[in-house]
Structure formats: C-alpha cells, structure tokens
Amino acid sequence: MRLFVSYIGFFFTISMFVLVGLFFGPSDATLSEITSGLIRSDDGPMKMIIWSIRIPRIILSLLTGCCLGLSGALIQLSSRSAIGDPNLFGIGGGASIFLAGSYAGVFVFDEHWIFFGSIISSLVVSLVLSRLISSSDLTPVKLAIMGIALGTLTISIGTAVISFGRVFPGQVIGLVAGSFTSSNWDKIVYLLIILIPVLLITFLLSKRFYPIMLGDVLSKSLGVNPIRNRNIAMSLAGILSGASVYAGGLIGFVGLIAPHLSRKILGNHPSHLILGSTILGGLLTLFSDQLARLLFAPTELPVGMASTILGGPMMMYLAWRLK
Amino acid sequence: MKIDISNLSVLFDDQIILDDISCHFPEGKFSCLVGENGSGKSTLLRTLTKDIDKFQGSITDLKSSDYSYIPQNIDDPEFLSVQEVVKLGFYQSKIRDQDLTLQSHQLLKRFDIEHLESRRFSEISMGQKQRAWLAFALAQDKKVILMDEPLAAVDLQSRKNFYSILNTVSKENRTLVLVTHDLGIAMEFCEHMVHLHQGAIAFEGPPKNFSGL
C-alpha cells in the first residue's frame, strides 16, 4: 500500500513539473494561446514552441534523468559504494571526451554514429572501473577516491579537446554542465532505444546483482559470480550514461541522489530500487531543468548547476557518514 | 561432510606457508583451528575455499554449494538492514518472499538479535554483527561452515556465548571449522582441535588431550 501511494506520488509530481514545463516560459503566452498550440488547432508560433521546443525538452530531460538514475543504481549495487554516480566516476566523462572531439571538429560523423560513439566511450570507462573494483583489496572508500579522480581526468581531457576547436561557448557549457536547449524528437527516439531494453534487462537480472552488495567472497559462497555480474551491471550503467551525456551533457549528482531517495522511500528490494531510481532520476532531472530554465528567465542556467545545488549537500552528508 | 587434508603444501613467493600437513575436520563436530599469527591457519582455510589454487597434496573438494564461509574482517554491507542480510543468505533456496521474512526472523531470534531486524547492519555492535553473520551462514543451510577469526573485537562474555551457540549449531550434522588464536576458549568449547605451528601440525585431537604449546 505504501509503495503504491509512493508511485502515485511520483506520478503526480512529474505531472506537475510537466505542466510547469508546458505553460511557463520566456514567450509570455496566455493560457488559451498555449492550449490552442497544444491541441494543434492552428499553425501559429505557439504550436511550434510547444511541439518543437517545450514538449521535446520535457520528455528528453525526463528520459535522460531516467538513464542517470538507473545508471547510478547499477553502479551503487555493483560497486558497494554509497557515492556511486556515473558522472562523478568519469563514466559520463568518457562520452564527453568523444562529444568534445565531435564538437571541435576533430572528426565528423553522422548523428547516429555520434550517439553510438558516446555510448561506446562511456562503456569503455565503465569496464575499466569494473575491472578496478574487482581487483581484490579495493575498499569502497578507495574506489570513491579513484572514481572521482577518473571523473576529473575525463572532464579535463574533454575540455582540452574542445579548446582546440572554435566552439561556441554555449555548446561547451552545455557539454560540461548539462543543457536541454537543443532537445529534439530524434534524441528522444535514440534514448528510448537504449533505455527500454536496458531497463528490461536490468529487471531480469536484478536478483543476481543484489548479492554483490555483500562483497565478492560472500556472494561467491551464495553461488553468484561477482566479477561477471559486476561487469554486466557496469556495462549497462556505461551504456545508459553515454546515452545521457549525448542527450543532455554532464548532469551531476542525479545518479547519486536518485537511488538514495528511492531506498528511503521504497526500501531496498531490488526491483523497487531499479524502478524507483529510474523514475526519481527522471523526476529530479525534469525538476532541475525547469529550475534552470525559469529561475532567472530569460537567462538559462546549465541544468547540471541546478542538479548540483541539490546534490552537492547530499554528497557531503553521505561522505560524512562514510567509514 | 567430513573434510580431509593430506600432505598439503602451499608456497607463496618461494616461502613455505604450509609444509606437508595432514589433518581432518569431522562431521557434526565443532572444530577449532588454532595457532599464532602467521602459522598458516588462514592459508589453510583459503585453500579449502579455493581462494588459493596453487598447492600440492590433496584436500576434500568443496563446492560453493557445500560450504558457507565467513571471512575475517568483512566490510559492512552498505545500505542493507540486518534482516536483509540474513534474507540474502536464503538466496539459493526456493522459499517465497513472505516465508523468507518469517524464517530470517526465526534465525535471528535463535541468536537473540531479532529486535535488531530492521536496523542498518553497519549500526549494530561487533558481537551482534557476528551473530548476524552466523545467521546468514545458517540461512544458506550448507553442510560445512567455515569461519575465520570472527571474534577478534568482542568481549570475553560475548565470545563465550557465541562459542556455545557454535557448539549447538555443529550438532545439526554440520562440519563447523573456526579459525582462532583464542586457545583458552577454544579448549573449553570445541570438540576437535588442530594446532598449527609454523606451517606444520603441532597437535590434532580432542582438546582435553592437548598439553599446551
């Protein structure tokens, strides 16, 4: 019953932010103009704003957040680290290096190859990380420090690459601090192609990821191969993370907070952790994006800045409790 | 299930850790493997669990479905409650979710820690953690339980309680092997003792026959 109420609560909160995203914006339209734009009754500018800007942006921020939340849950499950987050640990940074290269004109690819390349770049970093975790004496704290170092490293490389090209500052900020200003329907399709299968696979395998939280020795005695399952979980996290960076740049802390909130609200059960982290990741990112969009409108903040304002203190709290 | 070890030798970087040892751990008894630090106790245990796979001689082949192993200094599982840890012990059994809650409750009750069920694992005391880990081991319902020095940081009275629990557990037809350097309590509670000294067996038999170091 409690679970049911929580999910309903998530639904209503998301609906509320969706309405905010639809009806508020810099274009100062009246309610009736927006409504008529929404139901496509005329071909005025409002229809364009609603269907080509606001709705894609809402959906894309929601889906990107879902990817981040699920990715964070997978990393926390398989690394036993309370501060596991795809962008903090450099997994998203892998994709950002690739995207930086593409923005700077180091290589020129079609859009779908850029999407694919982002995913592969993040996948590589996540597998390196998985390898590190599986080496025997890496405590969760050591892992966190190394992960953060790796994260900083990837961002520096990405920034270095991007400074070679003559790139618009807006694009740079969008990449390193997150932005949904260039949302479109194509990106939504790309993200759905990744998110839906990964979510399904995660559900099917979730029971096997759960024992890894006890550590490798104990999960082995439960008949679970910790290294193989960790590699699977981290690969899935890498794929999601790459897709999220392609869609919205580096958005910090959503992958960290979503699983923690989910545990608080829905408990530790693996299927609720996965579903909850996914939904809450979407909710948090949608909220952050609306905050970034409207707080100082018409000037926009990068969405990663808004999510960091929420996530930074949370991370300090978690680190404080870390042993 | 009886554990036999014959002519086992283990080398680490050209250093002999275990030197041609033979001993056994009988079924249905509480066995203690004692010895000083560096005498090779943990190495013997890690060879049994196949953590070390380079050795000479022969040992009983333990599959992961045969034994549960509680290593030294386990990191606290992040996020999980005491009950969730014990529930994970039932991972390989086909028990339904509702029955799991009941069964893990009964196990915790057996070790007098059922009131801690919903606490975070990392928040309970060392002695309580050891009992919880034992409950976790028992939940797996394996024939062999191997524990490596689980009592290092616990006061004397709790240790005595824990040892008498272990004694009753071994009576359920389990082979229970505990690695410890706590010779005094081992002699008081265990039924079979193996004493390792510098990689060799210094004594094996019932503790009453043990004449000291």
Nearest by CB to A215, from B67, B74, B91: name it: B74
**Chain B residues near residue A223 by CB distance under 8 angstroms:** 64-65, 91-92
Q: What is the dihedral of CA B158, B163, B168, B174, to 10 degrees?
A: 130
CA B20 to chain centre: 23
pLDDT in tens, A185-195: 889 999 999 99
ipTM of model over 0.85: no
Q: Give the mean model confidence (pLDDT) for residues B58-65.
A: 83
pLDDT band at B52 (very low <50, low <70, confident <90, very high): confident
**Chain A residues near residue B89 by CB distance under 8 angstroms:** 222
Interface test with A, best of B78, B90, B129 (most A CBs within 10 A): B78
Q: Give the mean model confidence (pLDDT) for residues A66-81.
A: 91
pLDDT band at A42 (very low <50, low <70, confident <90, very high): low
Lowest average pLDDT, out of A76-85, A105-114, A136-145, B28-37, goes to A136-145
Residues of B with CB under 8 A from a CB of A: 49, 51, 64-65, 67-71, 74-81, 84-85, 88-89, 91-92, 122, 136, 140
Give the pLDDT of residue B213. Answer: 55
Nearest by CB to A80, from B69, B78, B85: name it: B78
pLDDT in tens, B143-156: 898 888 766 667 77
pLDDT of A65 over the 90 cut: yes
pLDDT band at B125 (very low <50, low <70, confident <90, very high): confident
pLDDT of A297 over the 80 cut: no
**Chain A residues near residue B78 by CB distance under 8 angstroms:** 76, 80-82, 140, 213
**Residue B180, helix vs strand vs coil:** strand
Q: Which residues contact A203 (CB under 8 A, 6 or more apart)?
A: A271, A274
* Minimum Cα–Cα distance from A83: chain B residue: B78
Amino acid symbol at A272: H
Q: Count interface pairs A-B at CB distance under 8 A.
A: 59
Mean confidence (pLDDT) of chain A = 86
Q: Of A61-75, B97-111, B124-138, which has the strongest mean pLDDT? A: A61-75
Nearest by CB to B79, from A217, A222, A268: name it: A268
pLDDT of A62 over the 90 cut: yes
Q: Give the mean model confidence (pLDDT) for residues B53-80.
A: 83
Helix (H) or strand (E) holding A179: none
Q: What share of chain A is helix, strand, coil (3-state, %, to 5)?
A: 80, 0, 20
pLDDT in tens, A261-272: 898 889 888 889
pLDDT band at B187 (very low <50, low <70, confident <90, very high): confident
Burial code of B69-89, b = ≥16 C-beta within 10 A, e = fewer?
bbbeebebbbbbbbbbbbbbb
**Chain B residues near residue A81 by CB distance under 8 angstroms:** 78
The model's pTM is 0.87
**Backbone angles phi and psi of B148, in degrees to 5:** -110, 105
